[in-house]
Amino acid sequence: MAKTSKGRMPRLEDVAELAGVSHQTVSRVVNNHPNVSKGTREKVEAAIAELGYRRNTAARSLVTRRSQTIGVLASELSQYGPANTLLGVEQAAREAGYFVSIAALREVGPDSLANAVSHFMDQAVDGIAVLVPHSETLAVLEQMDLPVPVVAVGSAGSAAVSGAMVDQRAGARLAVEHLIKEGHRLIGHVAGPSGWTDAAQRAEGWRAALRDAGLDVSLLVEGDWSAGSGYAIGRRLASGMTATAIFVGNDQMALGLLRAFTEAGVKVPDDVSVVGFDDQPEAGYFTPPLTTIRQDFEELGRRCMDIMLKEIESGAPVSSTVVPAELVLRASTAAPA
């Protein structure tokens, strides 16, 4: 960090003097206040860069009685969805000027959740984002009655806990409705593991779309999110294929399914169409490139922090936000032969 001509670390007043503005204006820029013109903001940011000024978070915390830290409680980080949700929330928090304290759970249960939340309270965090995609999580959070804002990411929330989620059910419907539009009438589903909120919502969307079209909802088999489980399921399906299209609960299982079908001589999409979920970066390079449902994890992170900051700043009531999913069309789907 640079020092001023007086031999000390630069202060907010030094930035104001160099930029030719008031120290209140510098404070607004540092705290991302919206009521600052573009030109003024650029002058202040240039002065900050030239002096190497860094905000004194400890001093600010004494004034505001806030730690400028949020706790992020997460699990299942080996999976693409939870890992990228965490990245989205962390990025949004840092952009808002908040430090992030992360607690990753190896096992999910009432005790582990309570212990992690207690750890965050000892750190005096200003709010907690919970990225634990299991059905019991929301009920446990409701019972805690915490004194700081809590956002359950991946959930619609409840009367006691705010929620921020991608619309998994609507995303699944997009996938199935696309297949129905192509002319498919026997559409199977390779679901994620039971107990996962996302898996349940995607299965619900699959069923709802089929029922609305008067189609069979019995063709469901459960995987564990891994490419290996998709491969094993694909080998079984290939030996007695009945469905003309399959909606797969995530791209990793779809990858295994495609490998199994290729080995068995089942052609995608000529013999069977396949749709995944997530739109992970490699999905466009599968063989064939995978039609899938995209989740916007960056937008989810921003929505989570918007709710969190409103509750921190103004004590706003519990609320929820839903990020739409998007169908990404590639070469793994076509009309049935």
The secondary structure of 93-132 as a DSSP string is: HHHTT-EEEEEEESS-SHHHHHHHHHHHHHTT-SEEEEE-
Across residues 5-30, what is the average pLDDT? 79
Q: Do residue 97 and residue 20 come from a single domain?
A: no
Would you state the pLDDT for residue 7?
A: 55
Q: Tell me the residue range of the domain where 35 lies.
A: 12-55
What strand order describes the sheet that includes 273-275? 220-222, 187-191, 245-248, 273-275
Residues 73, 37 share a domain: no
The answer to whether position 331 is within a domain reads no
Shared domain check, 120 and 46:
no
Q: How large is the angle between the packed helices 137-144 and 110-122, nearest 10 degrees?
A: 50
H or E element at residue 298: helix 297-314
Distance separating alpha carbons of residues 334 and 337, to the nearest angstrom: 9
Angstrom distance (rounded) from CA 332 to CA 262: 12
Q: Smallest Cα–Cα separation from 254: which of 149, 318, 332, 330?
A: 332
Dump pLDDT digits (tens) for 39-97: 898 998 898 888 887 665 544 544 445 678 999 999 999 999 999 999 999 999 888 88
Q: Are residues 162 and 311 in the same domain?
A: yes
Query: Once rounded to an integer, what is the mean pLDDT over residues 177-205?
Result: 97
The kind and range of the H/E element at 153 are strand 150-153
Same domain as 311, residue 233: no
Does a structural domain hold residue 2? no
Of 19-28, 63-72, 126-135, 188-197, the one with minimum mean pLDDT is 63-72
As beta bridge partners, residue 165 has: 322
Instruction: Report the mean per-residue pLDDT for the chain.
Output: 90
Please indicate, yes or no, whether residues 280 and 203 belong to a single structural domain of this protein: yes
Residue 94 lies in a domain: yes
Residue 7 lies in a domain: no
Whether residues 177 and 156 share a domain: the answer is no
Same domain, 161 and 217: no
For residue 323, the SS3 value is strand
State residue 5's pLDDT score.
54
Taking the C-alpha atoms of residue 58 and residue 4, their distance in angstroms, rounded to an integer, is: 21
Domain count, the chain: 3
Q: Are residues 173 and 261 in the same domain?
A: yes
Split at pLDDT 50, 70, 90, the class of 221 is very high
In the chain, the percentage of residues whose pLDDT exceeds 70 is 93
CATH number of the domain at 280, please: 3.40.50.2300
The model's pTM is 0.79
Considering the domain boundaries, does residue 317 fall inside one?
Answer: yes
Same domain, 269 and 257: yes
What distance in Å separates the CA atoms of residue 81 and residue 297, rounded to the nearest whole number? 8
β-bridge pairing 292-294 and 326-328:
antiparallel
Distance CA 302, CA 310 (A): 12
Q: Do 176 and 217 belong to one domain?
A: yes
Task: Please give the backbone phi and psi of residue 130, each rounded to the nearest 5 degrees, phi first.
Answer: -115, 115
Q: What is the dihedral of CA 31, 35, 36, 38, to 10 degrees?
A: 110
CA 200, 201, 206, 207 torsion-angle sign: positive
75 shares a domain with 183: no
CA angle 240, 241, 243 (to 5 degrees): 145
In a domain, 309, yes or no: yes
d(CA 192, CA 166): 16
Residue 135 has pLDDT above 90, yes or no: no
CATH code of the domain covering residue 49 = 1.10.260.40
